[in-house]
Amino acid sequence: MVVAVGPCSSSLVIGNRELGCNGASLRHFNGLRPVENVQIAPAVRKTAPRIQRIKAMAASTVAAPKREKDPKKRVVITGMGVVSVFGNNIDTFYDKLLEGESGIGPIDRFDASTFSVRFGGQIHDFSSKGYIDGKNDRRLDDCWRYCLVAGKRALEDANLGPEVLDKMDKSRIGVLVGTGMGGLTAFSNGVEALIQKGYKKITSFFIPYSITNMGSALLAIDTGLMGPNYSISTACATANYCFYAAANHIRRGEAELVVVGGTEAAILPTGVGGFIACRALCQRNNEPQRASRPWDKNRDGFVMGEGSGVLIMESLEHAMKRGANIIAEYLGGSITCDAHHMTDPRSDGLGVSSCIKNSLEDAGVSPEEVNYVTAHATSTLAGDLAEVNAVKKVFKNTSEMKMNGTKSMIGHCLGAAGGLEAIATIKAITTGWLHPTINQDDLEPEVTIDTVPNVKKKHEVNVAISNSFGFGGHNSVVVFAPFNP
C-alpha cells in the first residue's frame, strides 16, 4: 500500500486502486516508497481503520479465475489449415508427428555444398493446385503461396467456401497472417538483379512480394474479406502474436471471424546464410534427422523449417448461428518483452514466466488446470533451459504435466512456428494423443517435466498452453482447451 499526500490530503492509493476527494488518478504514485517510510499527515491517519477494512474485504473476495461466459467474447476454433514438410493435410501432418517421423533432410533447393549447414525442414513437392491460379503461382514468393494454401484450406475446414462466404458480411471477417522474414526470395532476387543488371531490371513485383503484409492482403483479395487486415512480425513469436491480436478484435466486437496464423519460407541462401552468421543453427550435416534435439545434453542449435499454419478464430455466438463445427476453444493469451538482448533469453526467465502468468489470467485459468505445454523448445543451449525454468516458476507441481517439442521433427519454422504448433496443440486436445519429442537420448537433469521422449503418449488435455519466443526478446503464450458449451 502507498499513501500519497497531495492537494487533497485524504487521497489514497491502495494497491492499484485509488481513493480521493477529487477523483484524480494517482496511479503514477505506485512506485513510491512503502507506507512505513512515508510521513503520514494526521488527516490521513484517521482513515486507517477504513483502509484495514477495505484490505480485509479485498482479501475475502479473492476468488478462483473465471472464464469468459459471453458468447460474443468467447473465441472458438472452427477450422485449421497447414502447409508443412509433411504435406498440406491436417490429419497426415499430425499422424507423422505421432509416429515420431523426422521431416528434416538435405537442402536441394539451392547449392548448399559450400555452406556449413546443408540441411533443414525443406518442403518438397508442394502443390497449390485448386488454390492459386497458374499465372500467380509462378510469380508468387513461396511465403505467400504457403499462406494462400493454408488460409484457404482453413476456410474449407470451417465450411467457409466461396459460396458460403459470399452470403456473409465480409466486412466483419478479418485476415491476420504474419511472417518473420516476409518474401525473402523476392527480396533476394530483387537485390541480385539490382547488383548484377541495374535497377531497370528489377521486377515490378519486387516490393509488393517482399513486404510482410502481403500474405494477409493477397488472401483477402482472393476471398473478398474486408475486416481487420494487417501483418505482425515479431520473429519466431509472430503467429502467437497474431492469435492474441485476432482474439482481441473478436472480443472488442471489431470482427466476428478472423483467418489467422503465420507463414514462412526462408530456406534459401540468404536465410540459411544469415542464421549461420548468427551462430544459431545446428551443424549435424551427417545426421540431419537427429539434429533437432530439444532438452538433450548434446543439442547445439536449431534446424530451419518452413511452412504455414492458419486457424479460423470465431466468436462463439457467430459460430453457433451458422452451425459451425467447433474444434476447440481459445481461452486467452499474453505478449511480453524480455528487454534484455537481441538473441539471448533472460537467464532468470522473468519475461517468459510473466507472459505465462498473464496468459492464464487473461484466460481465466489457474495454474493447476494446465496439464500440457507445447514448448518453444528450439534445441538451443540457453533457450531450452530458460523456458523450462520459467515454466517451473509458474507451475509449482508438474507431476501430471506433459511438455513436448514439435520442432524436433519439423524444424523451427520461424514466424510460422506458432501456427503449426497451435495446430499440433489442438490435435492433441481432440485426439487425446501427444506426439513425442524425438532425439532425446540424454536429457538435461534440470528438465523434471515429462517431455514425452521418443514415443507418443495418451493424455487427456484439460488446458494447454503453446509458447513462442523470438529474437528481440518477444514472448508470446496462447491458451487452448476442449470446447465445453
The residues annotated with a catalytic role in the active site are 236, 376, 412
Q: Are 250 and 313 in contact (CB under 8 A)?
A: yes
3-class state of residue 334 by DSSP: strand
CA distance 475 to 100: 27
**Roughly how many angstroms between the first and final C-alpha of the chain, as a whole number?**
41
Q: Is 427 exposed, middle or buried (CB count within 10 Å of its CB: 0-12, 13-18, 19+)? A: buried
Amino acid (one-letter) located at 349: G
Look up cell 507445447; give the residue: 374
Taking alpha carbons only, the member of 316, 380, 355 closest to residue 465 is 355
Q: Are 446 and 384 in contact (CB under 8 A)?
A: no
DSSP, res 265: -
Q: Return the C-alpha torsion angle 389, 336, 423, 229, nearest 10.
A: -170
Q: Is 39 exposed, middle or buried (CB count within 10 Å of its CB: 0-12, 13-18, 19+)? A: exposed
Q: Which three cell numbers stand for residue 224?
A: 473478398
Q: Is 211 left (phi over 0), alpha (psi -120 to 50) or beta?
A: beta
Q: Which three cell numbers stand for residue 138?
A: 509462378
Look up cell 489470467; give the residue: 361
Q: Return the C-alpha torsion angle 242, 247, 253, 257, nearest 10.
A: 80
CA distance 305 to 120: 6
CA distance 30 to 39: 16
Q: Are 294 and 102 in contact (CB under 8 A)?
A: no
Contacts of 180 (CB under 8 A, 6+ apart): 233, 234, 235, 236, 238, 262, 264, 266, 414, 415, 416, 470
Task: Measure CA 135 to chain center.
Answer: 33
The dihedrals phi and psi of 283, each to the nearest 5 degrees, come to -120, 30
